[in-house]
Amino acid sequence: MPRSEREVAVVGAGPAGIAAAQQLVREGIDEIVVFEKERVGGLIYQANKIENFPGFIGREGKYMVEEFRKIVSKYGITVRNEEVIGIESIQNSFSLNLDNDIEKASILILATGTQPIKMGFEGEITHPDWRDHSGEKIIIIGGGDAAYDYALRVKRLGGEVMIMRRSAPKALPVLVKRAEEKGVKEIKTEPEKIQKCDEEFYLQTEEGEFRADEVITAIGREPRFPEIFYDFDPQEVEFPTGETEEEKLFVIGSTVLGTYRQASLSWGMGVAAGMKAAENIRHNRKYR
């Protein structure tokens, strides 16, 4: 059975979701719950170096995750490590379906981020672990910021790295330059076939066959929405508040930022959404 209705439910505990929750608490709104199926901080954990967020420049994403956890603790934010598998809008409120529970909220803030586009081969990795890669040959498929960021991280952790890209790099020039300086190999080709055999990968390309101990794909990302919003149009979202055509529904962060997916922008949207949601709640309280 659903519990008593929360004032706000936030789905996603990345920069946008944490910023929204923190701002709501600062605004005096404490009936908040945040749902995050993985870890507080979201994909920022994967960052090799953060360069667009004051106070964290040059640091690994893992350190920002620790700071987010401190925010959660200091502001008394309830974070439930559960996946929201469906959402219904019922009588001016939202019903969130979890694995073994239902949560209701007057206002819903979606900060669900993005998910990787996969190639679909056996053993594919889209989010590499922070671990020692000494003695390993790693191939990263892709030519954007994520591909080069992963390459620099793996190289720093001892791996021999090759970036396999089908066209000119789309990553920031500074990342491309650093990869070159660190000895990351690059080849302009794409795999026609990828096979895993005895814990090794074999990639068939027009340039010949390549062997790797691990293959990481970074070929793009797409917005992640709970299935109820499968036909949602991110272009309908107001910037920076995340307001939508559906009253009391906010969508914020990298889910809707497109090519402008940056932690600093996601954080800003979270703050703006928190302010607007608090304004909405105070208005409703006044006229109850």
Please, what are the domains in the chain?
Answer: 6-115+221-286 (3.50.50.60), 118-217 (3.50.50.60)
Report the pLDDT value the prediction gives residue 227, as an integer from 0 to 100: 61
DSSP character at residue 81? -
Contact of 15 with 253, CB cutoff 8 Å: yes
Q: Which residue numbers in the chain have pLDDT < 70?
A: 1-4, 226-232, 234, 286-288
- Greatest extent of the chain over all pairs of C-alpha atoms, in Å: 71
pTM: 0.89
Q: Output phi, psi for 122, to 5 deg.
A: -60, 130
Report the pLDDT value the prediction gives residue 287, as an integer from 0 to 100: 56
Cα–Cα distance for residue pair 23/176, rounded to 1 Å: 37
The token duo for 143 is 């030519």
Report the pLDDT value the prediction gives residue 2, as an integer from 0 to 100: 46
Report the pLDDT value the prediction gives residue 74, as an integer from 0 to 100: 97
Cα–Cα distance for residue pair 1/38, rounded to 1 Å: 24
Cα–Cα distance for residue pair 157/131, rounded to 1 Å: 7
Q: Which residues, in sequence order, are CB contacts of 43 under 8 Å at separation 6+?
A: 14, 113, 114, 127, 254
Q: Strands across the sheet with 193-197, in order?
A: 193-197, 200-205, 208-212
Report the pLDDT value the prediction gives residue 229, as an integer from 0 to 100: 60
Cα–Cα distance for residue pair 73/52, rounded to 1 Å: 24
Report the pLDDT value the prediction gives residue 146, as an integer from 0 to 100: 94
Q: Cα dist. 195→29, 72, 141, 213 in Å?
A: 53, 43, 14, 12
Q: What is the distance between the terminal CA atoms of the chain, rounded to a whole angstrom?
A: 25
Cα–Cα distance for residue pair 169/227, rounded to 1 Å: 33
Contact of 121 with 29, CB cutoff 8 Å: no
Burial letters 207-235, b for 16+ CB under 10 A, else e:
eeebebebbbbbbebebbbbebbeebeee
Cα–Cα distance for residue pair 163/102, rounded to 1 Å: 44
The partner residues of 108 in beta bridges, in order of sequence, read 9, 249
Cα–Cα distance for residue pair 162/88, rounded to 1 Å: 45
Report the pLDDT value the prediction gives residue 258, as an integer from 0 to 100: 85
Report the pLDDT value the prediction gives residue 92, as an integer from 0 to 100: 81
DSSP character at residue 219? S
Q: Output phi, psi for 181, to 5 deg.
A: -65, -30
Tens digits of residue pLDDT in 118-151:
999 999 999 988 999 999 999 999 999 999 999 9
